[in-house]
Amino acid sequence: MWIHIGKSRSPDCTAAAREASQEALRGADAATFALVLCTDQYDAVALASAVREQLGDIPWAGCSAAGVFAGTELLLQGLVIALFLGDDFRVGVGMGGPVSERPRAAGRAAVAEAVSQLPPKPPGHRRALLILPDALSGNPTEVVRGAQQEAGAGIRWAGGGAGNNLRFVKTAQFTQGRAYQDQVVVIAFDAREPFGVGIQHGWSPYGPPSQVTKARGATAVELDYESAFDVYQRTAASRGDALDAQSFARFAMTHPLGIPQANGEFVIRDPLSVDPDGSVRFVAEIPDGSLVRVMEGKRTDLLDAAAGAATLARQATPGALGGAVVFDCVSRYLLLEEGVQDELSRFQNALGAGVPVVGCLTLGEVGAMGGGVPQFHNKTAVVVALPG
């Protein structure tokens, strides 16, 4: 398995599709599958039509994102297409939805459809599922749980929430040559060699733990029997930061919540906004009863985490790599700013020079941190190393 990547910065759908496709197809034999990632400036429907025209019979899937990258080149306006080549793997694509209404069922349906398109898994083959939910609709945590419930254990999980540049207006999911909203797309791979998946974030807790005393889905209503925002304010004050509703978004960008795991890791939850009653809305579910921590991230830690994720992925994939797919949280880019280039380099370096890397800046990430069942994460980097 190896990938050919094509990219285009053209804002025009047709041109972008043509340029990216032609570059990807150049020198490539019959492709089995194409992963299509684009920024959100495009008209998703027109872009899907253009890509469909370019790729012909090649099945493809993907999503929109705040940014896409090919190797270490970040495109905040552009399209990347990664052609998956080789005969040592099989691909199936499924879609489920609407996730805003039945997130768990959507996850299950998408996995079931994707797996159903695969031939019976030959003995010794490994399965990997890339899951691309609409992170602006519904509860992506439940989407992932539904996907896991359908697929079972023994699978490498990765993925990222389709997003945009944090305008949080709309996202697009691509499959069957068309663009959709409020869906989850699952790409299932069966390959002879395992897909290595690394997942790290680099965030650390500070301050006292706060118990989630009242939560409603992705909204923390109360922490320690006070409004969640009050706790946030107090925590910020302990660091000498004054915090109000207007400045919350900026503060929250660098101060997510961490949900402790037994293995010492934290699942990160990205705050989005403050409601009038002091509740704080997050990108994903806040578990009731847990002792959450306000997290902080140092630049170096984040970059180290990126390298760590890539390293873990590389280590989990034996032999040469045919490429890598990276789902990197858009908020890391917003935090690192131009330093994101360093992050992309760290990915590349850890994976190895010359390994084709394609990726996007996502709104939430999917992976099994430290093993076990997959979860929906925030502010995290997920690297999938493709066996060559």
Cis bond upstream, residue 122 (ω within 30): no
The answer to whether residue 375 forms part of the interface with other proteins (CB under 8 A) is yes
Give, rounded to a whole angstrom, the gap between the first and last alpha carbons of the chain. Answer: 5
The answer to whether residue 267 forms part of the interface with other proteins (CB under 8 A) is yes
> Checking phi first, is residue 35 left (phi over 0); if not, alpha (psi -120 to 50) or beta?
beta
Nearer to other proteins (CB atom), residue 161 or residue 322: 161
3-state secondary structure of 257: strand
Nearer to other proteins (CB atom), residue 121 or residue 170: 121
Nearer to other proteins (CB atom), residue 287 or residue 354: 287
* Euclidean distance between CA atoms 40 and 61, whole angstroms: 16
**Quick one: which segment of 37-45, 149-157, 169-177, 227-235 binds other proteins (CB under 8 A)?**
149-157
Whole-number minimum distance, CB 216 to other proteins, in Å?
13
Nearer to other proteins (CB atom), residue 56 or residue 318: 318
The answer to whether residue 288 forms part of the interface with other proteins (CB under 8 A) is yes
Nearer to other proteins (CB atom), residue 126 or residue 234: 126
**Of the residues 98, 207, 260, 339, which one makes contact with other proteins according to CB under 8 A:** 260
Q: Where are the alpha helices (DSSP H) in the chain?
A: 13-25, 44-55, 103-116, 140-151, 228-238, 245-254, 299-316, 330-336, 340-351
> Checking phi first, is residue 278 left (phi over 0); if not, alpha (psi -120 to 50) or beta?
left
Nearer to other proteins (CB atom), residue 27 or residue 123: 123
3-state secondary structure of 179: strand
* Euclidean distance between CA atoms 111 and 135, whole angstroms: 17
**Of the residues 75, 292, 336, 340, which one makes contact with other proteins according to CB under 8 A:** 292
**DSSP annotation string for 290-311:** -EEEEEEE-HHHHHHHHHHHHH
**Of the residues 56, 287, 318, 354, which one makes contact with other proteins according to CB under 8 A:** 287
Nearer to other proteins (CB atom), residue 72 or residue 213: 213
Whole-number minimum distance, CB 377 to other proteins, in Å?
11
The answer to whether residue 290 forms part of the interface with other proteins (CB under 8 A) is yes
Number of C-beta neighbours around residue 296 at 10 A: 16
**Of the residues 57, 122, 124, 153, which one makes contact with other proteins according to CB under 8 A:** 153
Partners of 191 in beta bridges: 89, 126
**Quick one: which segment of 10-18, 73-81, 82-90, 263-271 binds other proteins (CB under 8 A)?**
263-271
* Euclidean distance between CA atoms 326 and 130, whole angstroms: 11
Whole-number minimum distance, CB 145 to other proteins, in Å?
5
The answer to whether residue 371 forms part of the interface with other proteins (CB under 8 A) is yes
Nearer to other proteins (CB atom), residue 39 or residue 378: 378
Whole-number minimum distance, CB 180 to other proteins, in Å?
23
* Euclidean distance between CA atoms 17 and 11, whole angstroms: 10
Whole-number minimum distance, CB 81 to other proteins, in Å?
31
Partners of 157 in beta bridges: 129
- Total residues contacting other proteins by CB under 8 A comes to 34
Q: Kindly list the residues in this chain that would bind other proteins in the complex (CB under 8 A).
A: 108, 112, 145, 148-154, 205, 209, 211, 259-264, 267, 287-293, 368-373, 375
